Amino acid sequence: MSADQISVTFAALADPTRRAILERLAMGEAPVKELSVPFEMSQPAITKHLKVLEHAGLISRSREAQWRPCKLEAKPLQDASAWIEQYRQFWDESFDRLDDYLKELQSEEATSKEKKDGRSTRKRR
Amino acid sequence: MSADQISVTFAALADPTRRAILERLAMGEAPVKELSVPFEMSQPAITKHLKVLEHAGLISRSREAQWRPCKLEAKPLQDASAWIEQYRQFWDESFDRLDDYLKELQSEEATSKEKKDGRSTRKRR
DNA sequence: TGGTTAATTAACCAATAAGTAAATTAATAT
DNA sequence: ATATTAATTTACTTATTGGTTAATTAACCA
Q: Would residue B34 count as lying in a domain? A: yes
A16 touches strand C (CB under 7 A): no
Q: How far apart are CA A74 and CA B52, in angstroms?
A: 27
CA of A3, closest CA in chain B: separation in Å?
8
Phi, psi of A2 (to 5 degrees): -125, 0
pLDDT confidence bin for B112, thresholds 50/70/90:
low
| 3-class DSSP state of A26 | coil
Interface touch B90/A97, C-beta < 8 Å:
no
Please report, rounded to whole angstroms, the spatial distance between the CA atom of protein residue B22 and the C1' atom of nucleotide C27. Answer: 27
| 3-class DSSP state of A55 | helix
What range defines the domain where residue B101 resides?
Answer: 87-121
Task: For residue range A1-21, list pLDDT tens digits in order.
Answer: 336 999 999 999 999 999 999
Q: Which DSSP state fits A38?
A: T
The verdict on B62 and B105 lying in the same domain is no
Q: Would residue B20 count as lying in a domain? A: yes
Beta-strand ranges (E) seen in B73-111 are none
The verdict on A20 and A54 lying in the same domain is yes
The verdict on A23 and A62 lying in the same domain is yes
Which among A13, A72, A90 has the least Cβ separation from residue B74?
Answer: A90
Q: What does DSSP say about strands B70-72 and B59-61: parallel, antiparallel, or unpaired?
A: antiparallel
Q: Would residue B59 count as lying in a domain? A: yes
Pick from B63, B64, B53, B55: nearest CA to B26: B53
Q: How far apart are CA B121 and CA B125, in angstroms?
A: 13
Interface touch B11/A11, C-beta < 8 Å:
yes
The verdict on A22 and A68 lying in the same domain is yes
What is the count of structural domains for chain A? 2
The verdict on A20 and A63 lying in the same domain is yes
Q: How far apart are CA B59 and CA B75, in angstroms?
A: 10
Q: What is the mean pLDDT of residues A54-76?
A: 94
CA of B117, closest CA in chain A: separation in Å?
13
Interface touch B14/A15, C-beta < 8 Å:
no
H or E element, residue B61? strand B59-61
Q: How far apart are CA A4 and CA A103, in angstroms?
A: 28
The verdict on A27 and A55 lying in the same domain is yes
Q: How far apart are CA B58 and CA A110, in angstroms?
A: 36
Q: Would residue B82 count as lying in a domain? A: no
Q: What is the mean pLDDT of residues B52-73?
A: 94
H or E element, residue A82? helix A75-85
The verdict on B41 and B100 lying in the same domain is no
Q: Would residue B44 count as lying in a domain? A: yes
pLDDT confidence bin for A28, thresholds 50/70/90:
very high
The verdict on A69 and A91 lying in the same domain is no
Q: How far apart are CA A51 and CA A54, in angstroms?
A: 5
| In contact, B107 and B75? CB cutoff 8 Å | no
Q: Would residue B40 count as lying in a domain? A: yes
The CATH number assigned to the domain holding B9 equals: 1.10.10.10
pLDDT of residue B111: 63
Q: Which DSSP state fits A66?
A: T
Q: Would residue A12 count as lying in a domain? A: yes
The verdict on A48 and A15 lying in the same domain is yes
pLDDT confidence bin for B14, thresholds 50/70/90:
very high
Q: How far apart are CA A26 and CA B96, in angstroms?
A: 17
| In contact, B79 and B86? CB cutoff 8 Å | no
The verdict on A51 and A92 lying in the same domain is no
More confident residue, B104 or B6: B6
Q: Which of B1, B8, B13, B109 to mutate to test the interface with A (most CBs of A within 10 A)?
A: B13
Q: Would residue B81 count as lying in a domain? A: no
Please report, rounded to whole angstroms, the spatial distance between the CA atom of protein residue A48 and the C1' atom of nucleotide C11. Answer: 15
Per CB-CB distance under 8 Å, the chain A contacts of B98 are 102, 105
H or E element, residue B71? strand B70-72
Q: How far apart are CA A71 and CA A29, in angstroms?
A: 5
Which residues 35 to 74 of B reach strand D, CB within 7 A? 43-44, 46-48, 50-51, 61, 66-69
The verdict on A65 and A33 lying in the same domain is yes
The verdict on A95 and A58 lying in the same domain is no
Lowest mean pLDDT across A27-36, A87-96, B26-35: A87-96
